[in-house]
Amino acid sequence: MINITLKGGTVKEYESGITAEQIAKDLGMGLYKAACVAKINGEVMDLRTPINNDCELEIVTFDDEDGKRTYRHTASHVLAQAVKRLFPKAKLAIGPSINNGFYYDFDVDSPFTPEDLEKIEAEMKKIIKEDLRLEKFEMTPEEAIKYYEDLGEIYKVELVKEHADKGENISFYKQGEFTELCAGPHIPSTGRVKAFKLTSCTGAYWRGSEKNKMLQRIYATAFTKKEDLEAYLAAIEEAKKRDHRKLGRELGLFAFRDEAPGMPFFLPKGMVLKNTLIDYWHSVHKKWDYLEISTPQIMKRSLWETSGHWEHYHDDMFTTVIEDEDFAIKPMNCPGSILVYSLEPHSYKELPLRYGELGKVHRNELSGALHGMFRVRCFTQDDAHILLAPEMIKDEVIRIARLFDEVYDMFKLPYTIELSTMPEDHIGTEEDWAAATGALADAITSIGKTYIINEGDGAFYGPKLDFHIEDSLGRTWQCGTIQLDYQLPGRFNLEYTGADGEKHTPVMIHRVVFGSVERFLGVITEHFAGAFPLWLSPVQVKVLPIADRHQPYAKEVAEKLDSLGIRVEVDDRSEKLGYKLREAQLQKIPYMLVVGDKETQEGTVSVRKRGEGDVGSMALDDFAKAALSDIESKEIW
């Protein structure tokens, strides 16, 4: 007999060799039917895994992220099996689960059509109805290579060969006639996939490299309940309406051109939006005692070698040669701040020194990864680099977290926090990393905030706290970060004089709150669906004269509002009022002021408010006072 410790601490006794699936059934049919995978001593494993020793066991359902990943990965196998049934000559690549779904890459003679996707969905439903068991087995590397070479599955052969050097057997899963190279785990059978949808098909280079063949990538999602799938698909449709690239064009904010891939063009209204956001950034950072600096765009290779970027980040940097010497366009602002600090000696009394920089950086992103404002090659990073003594870390991290709270609360953006730990490609000792990681964890928990661990995803120079904001559609975006760096100050021989009169090496905190101005603009464009708060709106008020004779008064209204700092336009086109109102509504203008004979005679305006409609007539001075109050408060409505 063995002792199984269940989630919550209950211990139950079972015969050796029992599976997690059988234990789930013993605990209740509801849990058994909902189970996706098991955690045995913290390791995610198939439900059918025999348990031969005392252990801790958790039955994982779709409500857990591991359950979702397992469920959707099994659905990707169903997709691949359906494609092979319908298109036997298709070559299989990879099919992982991803956030909110899964995809599979195929090498086919011609792109899949919408009609093809319908047929594939129908075949997937047949496979699900067949309720095929997923059975795990292994082959030696030599057997696996021969198996796939005989089938002509060139991509699978490449994947197997990568693992062959380890000398370990290769894991496979079989469902009916379909066999797939896979480490697992999986749900027990295809019949447990209840609700799915193929959402799109795009081209994707094998291994993400333009040097390789373009494959066909089918994206899909899967849920355990039909109503959850329908809700998700409805959210996707809403997201399409809010796509910042679409709204950017329609609202005249920003554009992209083939002449400068991944580098946004800000249009006049977009510049108003960007500058207003930057003005807010300036005011917040002045309040929180940051000193603003600006550092050069291009600096010598030797600087980037000292910082470690040349070794660890070179492929993502744009480089050039000036007078036979290598230079790089900066991908990050931190070395510039370090050079500013090193210009003069410092005492512990000056610390923390908080340098803020809205620095333009360039990164050589793959063209296939570019995505509107979310993934660009040129952007403005709202950086800050803080030099401080080690004993100041906790208080400073708390202080930064409170600044983040102020900014994200302003935009009604809740967040979660990830603590990213030491990657394989790191500099510095494990002792330094342990100290830095512990310092971040201690600071953030001391103010009642929680975090999840993101293993091995820290920056090469230090661990970090990543702030994932949640938009109005429930999607999350990684924007803010607090990175604790014990390495770069030492590499650049930075010093300060301590209270003991001795020289000490400071610690550096790297942090951004927006992440980048461009990315944050993309996020809030979709968050607000282009209907920006009054204080941010490129045009805050549109004045609409009913007839040509009302234009002089309309211009007087606009001049008065403009003199008060309110951004205003007059629609003086010879169009009907209804047409002008619809145009202003499509442009998401917060206030529309209609002026006709009555308003001209009385010095009033007829006010229409976005989202509310007609709110009545007001004296112009009263409207201006109310609008200025809204702008000052930065209220969101």
What SS3 class is residue 529?
coil
For the question of residue 36 being annotated catalytic, the response is no
Estimate to the nearest angstrom the gap between the alpha carbon of 202 and the chain centroid: 20
How far is it, in rounded angstroms, from Cα 334 to Cα 330? 9
How far is it, in rounded angstroms, from Cα 328 to Cα 311? 13
For the question of residue 383 being annotated catalytic, the response is yes
Catalytic residue among 464, 542, 588, 608: 464
Residue of 491, 605, 515, 614 whose CA lies nearest to 556: 605
Copy the structure tokens of residue 64. 């857990």
How far is it, in rounded angstroms, from Cα 76 to Cα 98? 11
Cα 424 to Cα 114, 308, 428, 459, 507, distances in angstroms: 43, 15, 11, 10, 22
For the question of residue 409 being annotated catalytic, the response is no
Catalytic residue among 381, 483, 487, 540: 381
- Contact status, residue 319 vs residue 364, Cβ threshold 8 Å: no
For the question of residue 551 being annotated catalytic, the response is no
For the question of residue 381 being annotated catalytic, the response is yes
Catalytic residue among 510, 527, 550, 608: 510
Rounded to the nearest 5 degrees, what angle is found at the Cα of 128, between the Cα atoms of 126 and 132?
A: 110
- Contact status, residue 612 vs residue 593, Cβ threshold 8 Å: no
- Contact status, residue 566 vs residue 623, Cβ threshold 8 Å: no
SS3 content of the chain, % helix, strand, coil (to 5): 40, 30, 30
Residue of 312, 313, 342 whose CA lies nearest to 494: 342
For the question of residue 504 being annotated catalytic, the response is no
3-state secondary structure 478-518: EEEEEEEECCHHHHCCCCEECCCCCEECCEEEEEECCCCHH
Copy the structure tokens of residue 587. 């442009």
Cβ burial of 476 (10 Å; 0-12, 13-18, 19+) is middle
For the question of residue 549 being annotated catalytic, the response is no
- Contact status, residue 61 vs residue 35, Cβ threshold 8 Å: yes
How far is it, in rounded angstroms, from Cα 142 to Cα 9? 45
Copy the structure tokens of residue 205. 């280079």
Catalytic residue among 363, 542, 550, 567: 363
Residue of 507, 482, 399 whose CA lies nearest to 447: 399
Catalytic residue among 36, 201, 334, 479: 334
Q: Which residues form the catalytic set?
A: 334, 363, 381, 383, 385, 464, 510
